[in-house]
Amino acid sequence: MKSIRIDSVSKRYGQVRALDQVSIEVEKGELFGLIGPDGAGKTTLMRILVTLLLPDSGTAEVEGWDVRKDYRKIRRLVGYMPGRFSLYQDLSVEENLRFFATLFGTTVEANYDTIKDIYGQIEPFRKRKAGKLSGGMKQKLALSCALVHRPTVLFLDEPTTGVDPVSRKEFWDILSRLQEQGITILVSTPYMDEASRCGRVALIQKGKILGVDTPGGIVKEFQYPLLAVQSRDTYRLLQDLRRQSWAHSVYPFGEYIHLALSGPIGENTVVHLLESLNHQDIEVHSIVPGIEDSFMERMRAMEENGGIYPKS
Amino acid sequence: MRTIFFILRKEFRQIFRHRVMLPMIFLMPIIQLLILSNAADFEVRNIYLHVVDRDLSPASRRLIGQFAASKHFVLTQTSFSAELGFRDLEANDADLVLEIPADFEKKLLRENEASLHLNVNAINATKAGLGQAYASAIIRDFNNNLRMEWLDMPDRQNPGRFDITHSFWFNPDLNYKAFMVPGILVMLVTLVGLFLAGINVVKEKEIGTIEQINVTPIHKSQFIVGKLLPFWIIANIELGMGLAFGKLVFHIPIAGSLWVVFGFAAIYLLVVLGMGLLISTVTETQQQAMFIAYFVLVVFIMMSGLFTPIESMPGWAQKVTWFNPIAYFVDVMRMVLLKGSGWYEIRLHVYAMMAMALAVNTLAVLNYRKVGA
């Protein structure tokens, strides 16, 4: 049985299409990632699923309950952690947790085993006001509050945005352990590197789903040889590479430029070309494509195809 | 019920932890009471005059004509019995009753002396004081005119003289504070209800906690009651404190029953909290809510009859005050505290308040739902 079923859901805000015919299915007990840049529609989709927002068209079900009709049922079953920290800053850690437990008609003690893995880490500070916690601790408290009523489906909206790399890794470890308890988890993130921690991911951009696959599957789909190129003048490098007929795609990725090749061109050919164009400090090496490359490729293909991603 | 209790507990925790909230709730009223009740002064127009003319002589007509010509007085009624005049005074249909005795002209001509009687409704102390003074001035004028005319008459060398006696009803010492303090109390209670309640709901929106609340199974009604009830309680406590303070410091009279005052306040606060909730549904931040609440409050207070009598407002403005809850409560406070009115006398106020409570809260809840899920 599917835990989440989204069928051609659309939502617009005035002229902006936040979601355009989105369809996704998430299995029970799956750790599912919703990956896309800011403004892609991740939060809108989350808010529809947790019944905070109504879709304009299409249907969505959580654990078999319709988000329109059965929103009361869904609210009992799901845990939601919004992107922005939204607990009471003037209440203590313990008071926040107890308050949310009482809203679900339960107690912290009754569900302690579900949250002890996370809450245990901030319990020494239980008398401290939530507003005085560090970013990582706030996040753990928010997760504890979302879990205090033992939800069957957990929705996490960009839980790792603005969190340091160590805490991010720690947080994903926690999510893996929650998944082992049988909780379905839908997590959204703008960080491509986090996709590898998910069982399956959906790539989303401008309200459209670019593809749903395992992280490995998405990477595998990228079939062009890929080079990382660097020189002193990055902007000119970008311009020069884009002019080449054998350049399938050229995108800046941090300090490197990722160059996908459409023909059988060697690294040396590229180096020679750049030298002839007076580039300095040239560095070219072959790399294994990541999810981000695949994402950019899909985005490019979609735009070339007039906004529709070509079915392979 | 249990859920509401948990929300209440959370609200009170937050209120008592708030650095500004507590002083704002308990200190501000006392300071305002001290400052405001010692300030402000009025000019009075449109004093409703009831004339009991038992003489119906040229002299009495002339006197009445002079009253009617004055910009301060509006002649509402002429009758022949003092009872009718007093009834009008009681029903607030007249501010001043001028009694002209049956033998007024005769005495004036024969004995050169005649007496008039003025009854003044002194609930509005300033109005009563000024009204009495204006009336005396008109009568003095009338007296002087008579004198001049008679001096011209050869056969009448001694023009008539008469004296006026008057009594202030419901506020015998013309205590201005006894009139102001009940009104200011209304303002303070409204401040708590409208500002704090409205802001308290918007705060959840602003910091995003309303999202967390909305995905829990609690009903919107539970949430609303839980958010507003604390301020209903606090406003009532504040009213009690204010009355005690007014009694001890300003020695305001409490002629009527406190049950009536608090009973009416209970309904009145429903209206005010409903308005706070309504404001919170159309705003996103505490700042916006504050701004709108301030705007509403200033207009309502200015048109409440607290500082300037409603009777001296232009006709359209008087009609606007029919929809001003503060005007009703100010009126009720003065009627009950000074005049000793009971439920029967304020029944129309109660009905109006109930209707408003129903209308405002229905609107607020409907609007709240629309904005929510």
Nearest-by-CA chain B residue for A142: B212
Mean pLDDT for the stretch of residues A149-177: 89
Task: Report the residue from A54, A71, A87 with minimal CB separation from B212.
Answer: A87
pLDDT band, very low/low/confident/very high, at B359 (cuts 50, 70, 90): very high
Contact flag A103-B3 (C-beta cutoff 8 Å): yes
At A35, which amino acid appears? I
Do A115 and A79 fall within a single domain?
Answer: yes
Task: Report the residue from A75, A86, A102 with minimal CB separation from B209.
Answer: A86
Mean pLDDT for the stretch of residues A283-301: 84
Do B210 and B344 fall within a single domain?
Answer: yes
Nearest-by-CA chain A residue for B19: A90
Do A156 and A254 fall within a single domain?
Answer: no
Do A32 and A51 fall within a single domain?
Answer: yes
Asked, for residue A297, whether it belongs to a domain, the answer is: no
Task: Report the residue from A71, A91, A102 with minimal CB separation from B6.
Answer: A102
At A114, which amino acid appears? T
Instruction: Transcribe B192-260 into DSSP letters.
Output: IIIIIHHHHHHHHHHTTHHHHHHTSS--HHHHHHHHHHHHHHHHHHHHHHHHHHHHHHS-----S-HHH
Contact flag A82-B217 (C-beta cutoff 8 Å): no
- B329 is written with which tokens? 């409560």
Query: What is the extent of the structural domain holding A72?
Result: 2-215
CA pair distance A138, A122, nearest whole angstrom: 9
Do B182 and B263 fall within a single domain?
Answer: yes
The number of folded domains in chain B is 2
Least confidently predicted of B72-81, B138-147, B156-165: B156-165
CA pair distance A22, A249, nearest whole angstrom: 27
The number of folded domains in chain A is 2
A interface mutation test: which of B216, B218, B219, B222 has the most A CBs within 10 A? B216
What three-state secondary structure class fits A252? strand
Asked, for residue B253, whether it belongs to a domain, the answer is: yes
Asked, for residue B81, whether it belongs to a domain, the answer is: yes
Task: Report the residue from A72, A91, A103 with minimal CB separation from B14.
Answer: A91
Partners of residue B213 in chain A, C-beta under 8 Å: 103
B interface mutation test: which of A46, A74, A88 has the most B CBs within 10 A? A88
Q: What is the pLDDT of residue A268?
A: 83
Asked, for residue A312, whether it belongs to a domain, the answer is: no
Q: What is the pLDDT of residues B253-310, one digit of tens each?
A: 888 899 999 999 999 999 999 999 999 988 989 899 999 999 999 899 888 887 777 8
Let me know: does A65 contact A51? Beta carbons within 8 Å.
no
CB atoms within 10 A of CB B25: 22
Query: What is the extent of the structural domain holding B355?
Result: 2-36+175-371
Do A126 and A17 fall within a single domain?
Answer: yes
Beta partners for B100?
Answer: B53
Nearest to A87 by CA among A48, A38, A150, A141: A141
Contact flag A52-B17 (C-beta cutoff 8 Å): no
pLDDT at B373 over 70: no
Do B113 and B235 fall within a single domain?
Answer: no
Contact flag A103-B211 (C-beta cutoff 8 Å): no
Q: What Cα–Cα distance (Å) separates residue B345 from each residue in A65, A69, A101, B260?
A: 57, 50, 50, 11
Q: What is the pLDDT of residues A197-235, one digit of tens each?
A: 899 999 898 888 888 889 888 888 888 888 888 888 888
Let me know: does A43 contact A188? Beta carbons within 8 Å.
yes
Name the DSSP class of A109.
G
CB atoms within 10 A of CB B165: 8
Q: What is the pLDDT of residues B164-188, one digit of tens each?
A: 666 667 666 556 677 778 888 898 8
CB-based contact, A90 to chain B, within 8 Å: yes
Let me know: does B337 contact B250? Beta carbons within 8 Å.
no
Q: What is the pLDDT of residue B350?
A: 94
Q: What is the pLDDT of residue B167?
A: 66
Distance from CA of B218 to the nearest CA of A (A): 6
pLDDT band, very low/low/confident/very high, at A81 (cuts 50, 70, 90): very high
Q: What is the pLDDT of residue A221?
A: 81
In chain B, the percentage of residues whose pLDDT exceeds 90 is: 18
CA pair distance B93, B98, nearest whole angstrom: 14
Asked, for residue A191, whether it belongs to a domain, the answer is: yes
